[in-house]
Amino acid sequence: MNLVMTLGFLLVIIGLWAMLTQKNLIKIIIGFSIIDTGVHLIIVSIGYIKGRTAPILDASVSVADAANKIVDPIPSALVLTAIVIGLAVTALMLTFVIKLYQKNKSLSIDDYQELKW
Amino acid sequence: MVSPIYILILSLAIGFLLSVIDKTNRKFSLTAFYGVLTFNVLVIADWFYRFLFLGVPTLTINTAGFRAPVSINLQLGVQESFVLLFTNLIGLFAAIFLYKKFKESNISSLTLYLILIMGVNGLVMTRDLFNMYVFLEILSISTYSLTSFGKTGKSLSAGFKYMLAGVTASTFFLLGVVFIYYFSGNLNIDFIQASQFTNYGSIALFLLSIAIFIELKPFPANGWALDVYEAVDSGIVSVIAVVNSAAILFLFYKIMPILPERFLNVFGIAGVITFLFSNMLALKQKKAKRLLGYSSIGQVGLLVASLVFTANAPQHLIYLIVGGFFINHLISKAGLFWLSGIVKHENISDWNVLRGNRSLLILFGIFLFALAGIPPFAGFWAKWELVKLLVHSKMLFALSAILLGSLFEIIFLFRWFTLTVKSDIAATIPRWDASKIFSTSFLGVIAIFFAAMIMKVYYGFSLIHILPVLAVLVIDIIDFLPSKVKGLLSLLAVLAYGYYIYPFESNIQLFFGIIFIVGSAVNIISTLNRTGKSEGFYGFLLMMIFSFGNLIIATNYLEFFLTWEFMTISSFLLILRGKQAQKASLMYMIFSTAGAYLMMVGFAFAPQLMGNSPLVISLANVQLPLISIILLSIGFMIKSGSLGVHIWLPEAHAEAEADVSSFISAILLKAGVFGLLLVGISYVKFAPSFDIFYWVGWIGVLTAIVGAFLASFQEDAKRLLAYSSMSQVGYIVAAIAMVSHLGWVSALYLAFNHMMFKSALFIAVAGIYYRTHTRNMYEMGGLIKKMPLSYITVLISIIAVSGVPPLSGFGAKWLIYTAFISNGWYLQAGVLFFASAVSFLYLYRIIHSIFLGQLKYEHQDIKEAPVWFIIPQYIFLGGIMAISAFPNLIIKPLNKIAMHYFGSSIRIDGYSIFSELGHWDGHVVMLVTMGAFIVPLLILLLLVGKTQKVKQFNIVYAAERPESPQTTHVAHNMYAHYRKALGGWGKPRIWNFWHSASEWTHSLADYFRHIYTGNGQTYVLHIILYVVVIYIVMGV
Amino acid sequence: MDIIIRILYAVISILVATVWGLTLTGIVRKIYARVHGRFGPPVWQPFLDIIQTHSRRVAISHGYMFFLGPVFRFAGGLGTYLFIPVILGSTVFGNFSMGGDVLLVMYFIFFGQLGMALGAGEGGHPYSPMGIARGLSQMSAFEVPFSLAIISVAIQYHSLNITTIVQAQQGSILNWTLFTNPLAVIAAMISLLGMNGHAPFSIVMAPQEIPIGPPIEMNGSFLGILQTNRGLFAAAKLILFMNLFFGGAAHPNILVALLIMMIKTFFIYMFSVFVGASFPRFRPEQSFRFFLKWPTAIGILAILYIAYL
Amino acid sequence: MIKQVLSLVAIVLLAALIFAPMLINTPLHTSLTPLANYYATQGADDLGAPNLVTAIVVTYRGLDTLGEVTVLFIATAGIGFLMGKKKKLITPKRPASELLQNGASFLLPIIILFGVYIFMHGHLTPGGGFQGGVVIASGILFMMLINQDWSHNVFLFLESFSGFFYVTIGALGIVLAGGFLDNRILPLGTFGTIFSAGAIPLIYSLIGLKVGTELVGILHAMRGEE
Amino acid sequence: MEKKDLNEIEKEMKLANEGLPEKERILFSDARPSRVEPLNKYLEQFVNWARARSLWLLAFGTGCGATELRPLMTSRFDVSRFGIAGRPTPRQASVFIIGGYASIKTIKRIVRSYEQMQGPKYVIALGSCTINGGMYYDSYNTINRIDYYIPVDTYIAGCMPRPEALIAGFNRLKEKIQKGECDGMNKYADNFDWYKKNQKQIIKDWNMPDYNW
């Protein structure tokens, strides 16, 4: 139980609520963004070790001492990738919304139900 | 020997450069694009070959110069290369399929497509969980973008829903990955073990696996996928359905080792549920691509289930089952989606435009049959082995769900097929596109290649068992010949085939050999009347006849079942040739398939056979378990049209082409009889404690009586004969079920007799139909004057049916009643008496309505049936007369056959046959009858004086004259009073039952599919709820 | 030589049966008339009628099946009769019973029905098929109790052989099936009503609805043959019933045996005559339903009684 | 309404059954995992990059990064594909304000310079190709805001070739060093200096360029059209 | 030459059936009734004896003419003791009783029924109306004399004749039959054209063959 992860999960839940209840497409995408942010927080929190510093070997962190001084670098690397992917997905979703709005002049998700059953 | 990493490198390099290359010329970019795709295929094919045939060890590729888990590694083994080979192939051919579009569309589409294929390759090869996430995203994002390939509003909204679902799933995936890292300290699946996870840690595994599972579109969290399938361009959607699914499925396969068993079982069951429900919901679907979507989802569910269920099976079985389903799904789904791109019509009933192109129609058939698991395509073998496996591991619930799902699948696939082949062409025929046809044909070739490989290499079937398929191929090649030539060739082929299989190991085989082969050969003569080319007819006819023959020489369950399925499919196709046969053939196929599935399970329950002798012999020493007996009996009784499952029978008989009906009735039904006899042979020695055959016997006699009544109430001559067949086969079934000497003698006697008189009757009716162009008996009448030869056939035949002495029918009746009474089946004998009395009703009806009474104006100038119809009729009549006058010709051999299993209960003394109850001397009866006939005839000739021949209207008519032949001919609703007397018993309850079963299923399907509201948000909700539910069910 | 003697015997047997059958018909007509309070025609009237019909100068034929129909019918009657042993142990009246058992006889009954149906059908008159449809339907209905009774008898005597069945009933009147298996006899006697086609089961000939039904076009000698057959066929049926249920006819003296046969058949026939004289006609569906209800139930009881009690 | 209730139920269940146990049962690690430990102790020796995250991102998990770049790339391509070819860019009703114009022209070189700095020093300091690329793209955004038209082809070429070279350098790793994307095709140099850590600065620069141009591509694609 | 003659003769033997529409002609026999000679003397006497004792009636009653036929069947008069019985079809009947007036409409049915009976056949004209028109002698739509249209063997006069008279008439007929004097069938065949002419004069809507077999 740690604060960042709690916050992360909270954001995931908030984002999910937005995704599930908001009718506006943009808001749904915002919901996704919130989820994404939450997930990133969770990832970061996983790598965190109390009282340690960033995994950059410089004057304060010697190579020999690194193992005891730095936080886990792997989640940091992962979150970098995750952020970029999240960005790409968000951008693509927004583009879909733009196209959908251009075609149907509506931003409500309820107006896009012609395919069903 | 190029390292597979170059697939990624080259794809990316070219992908990045593609837009620049395109600035110069589209041709260059296209060349580069197709070059890379071909390169992928070649590299993987090379590796696949090495793994499979040269035994090269699995290849591991480390990146960044470090070993896993420090760096990401890729792995290429035989499984990976197998999956990749086919995904890349499909990718390449889908690209070829899309050639025209790629030529015209934005360069980005090429890039996206290339990267998509790259993503698939990476996803399959990588061993690192986070890397999987990255590749999954590459795959997803390129797919999301490509969904808008058609740039329609629908595809946009479908794409958006797809994205919503995709991001939800990938969120879970990401969470799963990082928590797995948290617990295991590792991201490489080779270094992760299930044991590293604490009780709560398995939540991480759950999140990972459920994310992948949702990507596999489980029911009901799969609405988004359906929308995508429906809306997106067919070329792209084939990639989504096949390539993407394959990659993700492989992903699932890769993580399977780290998942706890309880997860897998739940996923397996969820897969089964997906399969069942997807196929069920597809029943209501009219749109081709959405239908295929449902089917794809179902297939993937089945694949997941089979992956899970085969986990502990021997390696070669896993390959056959999972590989079989995989290949099957891949080829047929891609093929069908491509066809949908060629057809360009949304509604399945518009697919009949395919009839404009013969080879496309054949391809369509191949894909559909492959998808439906019809032999010889891969799905059939996979299903057979899966059923065996499930039975042995006692997973009966999953088994029945899978079979039910398969049945639903058969229903909608074959409905589609029959609609395509039969309905009137309304839509306009599109222009055929060469690149599309090329790609699609290629898949057909692969499907056939695989079928051949499995049959020849895996199972090692001898040529004789492949012969039915070869016959189709050969006849297809010489299909340009006129039908008479093909007919004669077929006749020769059947005779040669009969000669080839002739030396049988037992008499019972010889007996059925005569029924199947000689009967068919004589029946073929009637097909010689066909004019024109009759394209495709003789191929399937030969396939059916060879299947009959193969049934009796089958030495194990699989050979038998394979042959059985060949028989079913060929007869289905023959029935389908009838003008109005769409519904009838569909019903036949559904019932046959249901029966086949029961048989499949029944065989799976049966103990293994020893030795290499035909089933007829080897089954005698095998104790079939009760469940096996029940299932097999039901399966065979469906084929022989027993009460309750008979409703396919009249439809199929009536709607089939005139000369096909005789095959179906006279010979095909005997296949069911033969099957039941097989069960009986085991029953003789090892009767189970619960006497199931007692009830089979009851069903038999009830079939006899109900069939007789139904026949009496028909207006359609062929339906009447069909119900008559049902009734007669009911006798046979009951007699077999007695499992006594006399019972079997009478059953075989009746079977032989029925083959002859029913062939003769159907061919006679075929001749009449040929002349009158109607099957409604009340539209005929008085034809005795015009078609005396046909009349004599029908007369002799109906006497033989009715059991009136002195013809052979009486022998059957005498044997059967004696058998029943001495076996203690008294009430059953009473019912049979009733049935045989009722049979007079329909027999009189058919002969009177057609031949007697009033000749119609339009038939005044009608001629006798063509000689090709007359010849076989009289051959059969000759047979009937021969065994009537000399019953010993048949009784003695049959006695010997039955004595093989029982002690003899009859004594044959000269021409007399004595049973413990009574006696019968066919010869004396014949002589006395002749005498009793001739003497009154002479008396009459002596006394009659001047005889004035008059015409049909010279009748006393209450001092009036008849108005017209139509109003004077009493034929319509002839037994109305009987129907009235039967009251509520005359209601078509069984028909109503099946009808409402069908209605209910469709209504349920309609009800359930309303969960797919079309709202992307709801789909996300489905996913979340599904995750929660699965989580609870798994009890993580 | 043997064959000629056999044929000779058969001819004698047939003649006796035919004459007796026709006489019975005459007696029945007389009885009917007496019931009505009339004198009625002479007992030999059926013979006169047969001569009269045969002496028609012109006969109308609708085709070869029409021509052969009556022949079939008569052959059916002859065949039925010829496979029934009339008198136990008699060579003359033993007929060709070595040809088959009761099943053969039962199915030979159909032979004539079918032939007649075909012949009448070719006549082209609408009433013929109507009558035949009724007749066949009714036959299928009364065949049920009859066959159940036969099965019951077969179980009882463990034989389908008529001679064996008759033999088993010898000795005492109490050995008759009538007393040993009354349920079967009741069922069979009810179906005899249908077989004979007297009221209330006279739906085939039904003069007021479909004037005499199937043979409406029959005339001249065709009709004559049919009339002859009526006598023979009636006799055959009655003899079959006598054999199966009423102890048959057995006496060392052939004349006495014949007398026994005549008396027994007379009374069996009287049963259906009495019923016929006192009931109006059923509608077809009532008739079928009747046979499929009570007599069938009795027949099933007869089987259950014999087989399981 | 029922959907709202179901959503609530779903989320509550998800939170209560799945998220809560995970949250409660995953206390912070107190030491590095073996793998992280390896990176911490061996990373500097292996690759010569002080920033371990960069070492992981660019080399150890270089395939991820390549994939990540690809994701961005196909997102750009997808957006371009979706939005279609621009016929004519929209012209604003009124030109950008003078403040914006001047500010943008002033800030643009600085921003780009800053971006370049970030990705060049990716192996030494926090930041790297992605961050730098984003900074560069934000500079270009300014340009778009003041409606200064640059030929998009420049970015296109830049994007294509930076990606291509990235892959090529990666592939060179197979030939010259241990494997695909191995940074040791160039000498590792002095630890902690800018020209060290083998090909990492080079790769990160290419990534930075590529990310920047890709983001520009997205911005371009989303611009209004007449 | 000879052949042609034969054909012509055959053609003459056929009836034209001109009253029928073309397509119906094939449905009716076009044979002409011909004379059939009796058997040799003793045989004929024997069969005549039987014929006389087995009279099968076909009753044709219009108007009140047939009312007195019913009592004949009842216990009071009971003609069945003379071997007389009704038959429902002309095919099997040998005696044709025409009771009551014969209107233009019914004469067609009378002719048809008569022709459909198989010879030897006997006709009894019952009542005045049938014999000479009776009270309807000047009606516009009845015929006066039935024997212009079919040959009659016995006339039973009266209006109405009592059952006793009928029985007497039957006895008269029996006597005539036994003597071999009733040969209406051959008379009709011999004078076929004359009878037909008379019939066609009366019946305007002739929609049947010339001879109803």
B913, closest residue in chain C (CA to CA): C100
Average pLDDT over residues B852-868: 89
- Give percent of chain B above pLDDT 90: 36
Lowest mean pLDDT among B49-58, B596-605, C183-192, C197-206: C197-206
The pLDDT, as a whole number, for residue B360 is: 87
Do D7 and D115 have their domain in common? no
Q: How far is CA B931 from CA B221, B681, B925, B935, C238, in A?
A: 81, 43, 10, 6, 23
Sheet strand arrangement including B919-921: B907-909, B912-914, B919-921
Average pLDDT over residues B400-410: 93
Q: Does B1028 touch chain D (CB under 8 A)?
A: yes
Give domain status of residue E16, yes or no: no
The pLDDT, as a whole number, for residue B1003 is: 93
Is residue E1 predicted with pLDDT exceeding 70? no
Is residue B234 predicted with pLDDT exceeding 60? yes
D 55-84 near A (Cβ less than 8 A): 55-57, 60-61, 64-65, 67-68, 71-72, 74-75, 78-79, 82-83
CA atoms of B667 and B645, how far apart (whole Å) = 19
Q: For B626-640, how does the pLDDT look when each residue is reduced to its tens digit (9 = 90+)?
A: 899 999 999 999 988
**Helix or strand holding residue B489 (H, E):** helix B483-501
Lowest mean pLDDT among A82-96, B25-39, D93-107: D93-107
Q: For chain A, which domains are there?
A: 3-111 (1.10.287.3510)
Give domain status of residue E92, yes or no: yes
Average pLDDT over residues D33-52: 83
pTM for the complete prediction?
0.91
Is residue D169 predicted with pLDDT exceeding 90? no
Selecting from D35, D156, D177 the residue whose C-beta is nearest the C-beta of B19 gives D156
Do D82 and D168 have their domain in common? yes
Do D7 and D75 have their domain in common? no
Backbone φ and ψ for D95, nearest 5 degrees, come out as: -65, 165
* Angle of helix C220-245 versus helix B922-943 axis, rounded to 10: 150
Do D82 and D190 have their domain in common? yes
* Helix (H/G/I), strand (E/B), else coil: C61: strand
Domains held by chain E: number:
1
Q: For E74-93, how does the pLDDT look when each residue is reduced to its tens digit (9 = 90+)?
A: 888 888 888 888 888 888 88
Determine which of B862, B942, B943, B951 to mutate to test the interface with E (most E C-beta atoms within 10 Å).
B951
CA atoms of C151 and C296, how far apart (whole Å) = 12
Lowest mean pLDDT among A50-59, B119-128, B596-605, B651-660: A50-59
Q: Are C153 and C185 in contact (CB under 8 A)?
A: no
Do D167 and D201 have their domain in common? yes
Selecting from C49, C51, C216 the residue whose C-beta is nearest the C-beta of E91 gives C216
Contact exists between D and E (3 or more beta carbon pairs < 8 Å): no
Is residue D147 predicted with pLDDT exceeding 50? yes
D partners (3+ CB pairs within 8 A) are A, B
The per-residue pLDDT of chain E, averaged, comes to 85
Give domain status of residue E154, yes or no: yes
CA atoms of D40 and A74, how far apart (whole Å) = 10
Q: Are E165 and E129 in contact (CB under 8 A)?
A: no
Average pLDDT over residues B360-380: 89
The CATH number of whichever domain residue E132 belongs to comes to 3.40.50.12280
Q: Which domain holds residue E134?
A: 57-213
Question: Which residues lie closer than 8 Å to B82 by C-beta, 6 or more apart?
Answer: B48, B323
D221, closest residue in chain A (CA to CA): A95
- Give percent of chain D above pLDDT 70: 95
Confidence label for D226 from pLDDT (cuts 50, 70 and 90): low
The pLDDT, as a whole number, for residue B426 is: 66
CA atoms of B1019 and B612, how far apart (whole Å) = 56
Domains held by chain D: number:
2
The pLDDT, as a whole number, for residue C56 is: 86
Q: Does E35 touch chain C (CB under 8 A)?
A: no
Tell if the CB–CB gap between D163 and B134 is shorter than 8 Å: no
Is residue A12 predicted with pLDDT exceeding 90? yes
What letter does residue D16 receive in the DSSP assignment? I
Lowest mean pLDDT among B433-437, C19-23, D12-16, E110-114: B433-437
What letter does residue C142 receive in the DSSP assignment? H
Q: How many residues does chain B have?
A: 1036
C-alpha distance from B183 to closest chain D C-alpha (Å)? 8
Confidence label for B480 from pLDDT (cuts 50, 70 and 90): confident
Tell if the CB–CB gap between D161 and B137 is shorter than 8 Å: no
Confidence label for C99 from pLDDT (cuts 50, 70 and 90): confident
Do D169 and D210 have their domain in common? yes
CA atoms of B893 and B891, how far apart (whole Å) = 6
- Give percent of chain B above pLDDT 70: 99
Question: What are B's interface residues with E at a Cβ cutoff of 8 A?
Answer: 857, 860, 945-946, 948-954, 956, 959-961, 965
Residue B247 burial (CB count, 10 A) = 25
B133, closest residue in chain D (CA to CA): D64
Give domain status of residue E38, yes or no: no
Determine which of C71, C161, C195, C300 to mutate to test the interface with B (most B C-beta atoms within 10 Å).
C71
The pLDDT, as a whole number, for residue C29 is: 86
Percentage helix, strand, coil, to 5, in chain B?
75, 5, 20
Give domain status of residue E208, yes or no: yes
Determine which of A89, A93, A115 to mutate to test the interface with B (most B C-beta atoms within 10 Å).
A115
Tell if the CB–CB gap between D64 and B66 is shorter than 8 Å: no
Pairs from B384-387 (Cβ < 8 Å, separation ≥ 24): B384/B558, B384/B561, B384/B600, B385/B317, B385/B320, B385/B321, B385/B324, B386/B306, B386/B309, B386/B310, B386/B321, B386/B325, B387/B600, B387/B601, B387/B604
**Helix or strand holding residue C59 (H, E):** strand C58-61
Q: How far is CA E81 from CA A72, C41, E123, E166, in A?
A: 130, 4, 20, 14
Give domain status of residue E67, yes or no: yes
Average pLDDT over residues B416-426: 83
Q: Which residues of B touch C285 (CB under 8 A)?
A: 977-978, 980-981
Do D70 and D122 have their domain in common? yes
Q: For B964-1012, how does the pLDDT look when each residue is reduced to its tens digit (9 = 90+)?
A: 888 888 888 888 888 888 888 888 888 899 999 999 999 999 999 888 9
CA atoms of B677 and B639, how far apart (whole Å) = 13
Is residue C115 predicted with pLDDT exceeding 90? no
| ipTM field | 0.87
The pLDDT, as a whole number, for residue B1001 is: 92
The pLDDT, as a whole number, for residue B216 is: 92
The pLDDT, as a whole number, for residue A36 is: 92
Q: Does B1033 touch chain D (CB under 8 A)?
A: no
Instruction: For chain C, give every domain's residue range.
Output: 2-308
CA atoms of B607 and B627, how far apart (whole Å) = 12
Average pLDDT over residues B1024-1032: 92
Q: Are strands C58-61 and B946-949 parallel, antiparallel or unpaired?
A: parallel
Q: Are D198 and D183 in contact (CB under 8 A)?
A: yes
Q: Which domain holds residue D16?
A: 1-30
Tell if the CB–CB gap between B1014 and A39 is shorter than 8 Å: no
Burial of B861 from C-beta contacts in 10 A (0-12 / 13-18 / 19+) = exposed
Q: Are A97 and A107 in contact (CB under 8 A)?
A: yes
Confidence label for E8 from pLDDT (cuts 50, 70 and 90): low
Confidence label for A38 from pLDDT (cuts 50, 70 and 90): very high
Give domain status of residue D84, yes or no: yes
Is residue B886 predicted with pLDDT exceeding 50? yes
Q: Which residues of E touch C38 (CB under 8 A)?
A: 74-75, 78, 80-81
Beta strands in chain E (DSSP E): 55-61, 84-86, 95-99, 122-126, 154-156
Do D177 and D69 have their domain in common? yes
Determine which of B947, B954, B969 to mutate to test the interface with E (most E C-beta atoms within 10 Å).
B954
Q: Where are the alpha helices (DSSP H) in A22-72?
A: 25-47, 66-69
CA atoms of B633 and B598, how far apart (whole Å) = 9
C-alpha distance from B772 to closest chain C C-alpha (Å)? 19
The pLDDT, as a whole number, for residue B506 is: 85
The pLDDT, as a whole number, for residue B275 is: 93
CA atoms of B717 and C147, how far apart (whole Å) = 29
Backbone φ and ψ for E57, nearest 5 degrees, come out as: -90, 140
Contact exists between D and B (3 or more beta carbon pairs < 8 Å): yes
Question: Which residues lie closer than 8 Å to B339 by C-beta, 6 or more apart?
Answer: B354, B360, B363, B364, B367, B440
Average pLDDT over residues E8-19: 74
Radius of gyration of chain C (CA): 19
Q: Which residues of D touch B233 (CB under 8 A)?
A: none
Q: For B73-95, how does the pLDDT look when each residue is reduced to its tens digit (9 = 90+)?
A: 899 998 899 999 999 999 999 99
Give domain status of residue D100, yes or no: yes
Q: Are strands B919-921 and B912-914 parallel, antiparallel or unpaired?
A: antiparallel
Backbone φ and ψ for B284, nearest 5 degrees, come out as: -90, 0
Q: Are B544 and B570 in contact (CB under 8 A)?
A: yes
